[in-house]
Amino acid sequence: DADVTQTPRNRITKTGKRIMLECSQTKGHDRMYWYRQDPGLGLRLIYYSFDVKDINKGEISDGYSVSRQAQAKFSLSLESAIPNQTALYFCATSDLGGLGYNEQFFGPGTRLTVL
Amino acid sequence: AQRVTQPEKLLSVFKGAPVELKCNYSYSGSPELFWYVQYSRQRLQLLLRHISRESIKGFTADLNKGETSFHLKKPFAQEEDSAMYYCALSSGGTSYGKLTFGQGTILTVHP
């Protein structure tokens, strides 16, 4: 779905470097999410934002920070990258939806390697 | 705390065989459950939601509150069904709409 974009798509960095992953959406959704995907662990939520002024920690927020610059933009930062943050990172968006009809729309993913 | 468990990391079947991907959940409230799918070189996308009681691409999933399960089934698997499948549970209350995903099951359908 071209409505949710992530940059960069691939990044190799070194331990201790600061990294920012960016997500943009043109779907007009208020809600945005950052996940990481690891083999055998599935998708785990890092941070989520229900509107521009609302930021919430997910289950694995340590070592990460986020910024919601606008309704359409949600950035994930690794202040000092470490090797166990090597993973595939996904951004997603959703609207409030009706009961049971919440659907999240995912970006293409950013593959991050920390050496 | 809510939890979603998919006990099979890998599942292999032959074309035309029935397939069942297991999902169990732990949640104190009234659950809202979903199956998401990620085909090779495609984005993760919604496959079906329990509230719709729909069949998508021949797949169905029934919510069993007694067994706290939401297994995904298809009577005759096709090669194009090969993908990663995630079961997901929606939070309630003030974090309504936040999803908790299972570990995922990689389904391979052999010709």
What are the pLDDT digits (tens) for B19-31?
999 999 999 888 8
Residue A94: pLDDT over 80: yes
SS3 B95: helix
Mean pLDDT confidence for B41-49: 94
Tell me the pLDDT tens digit for each residue of A26-78.
999 999 999 999 988 999 999 999 999 999 999 999 999 999 999 999 999 99
* Amino acid B91: pLDDT: 80
**Phi, psi torsion values for B16, nearest 5 degrees:** 90, -10
Q: Is B46 on the interface with A (CB under 8 A)?
A: yes
Question: Taking CB atoms and an 8 Å limit, are B32 and A40 in contact across chains?
Answer: no
**Dihedral in degrees, nearest 10, Cα atoms B101, A110, A48, A2:** -90
Question: Taking CB atoms and an 8 Å limit, are A40 and B51 in contact across chains?
Answer: no
* Amino acid B28: pLDDT: 86
Q: How far apart are CA B6 and CA B35, in angstroms?
A: 11
Residue B93: pLDDT over 90: no
Which chain A residue lies closest to B4 (C-alpha atoms)? A42
| The residue type at B47 | L
Supply the DSSP symbol for B28: S
Taking alpha carbons only, the member of A8, A27, A4, A17 closest to residue A83 is A17
Residue A111: pLDDT over 60: yes
Token pair for A45: 């939520």
Contacts of B46 in chain A (CB under 8 A): 103-104
Q: Is B41 on the interface with A (CB under 8 A)?
A: no
* Amino acid A7: pLDDT: 97
* Amino acid B18: pLDDT: 98
Q: Are the beta carbons of A72 and A25 closer than 8 angstroms?
A: yes
Selected residues 58-97 of chain B with any CB under 8 Å from a CB in chain A: 86, 90, 95-97
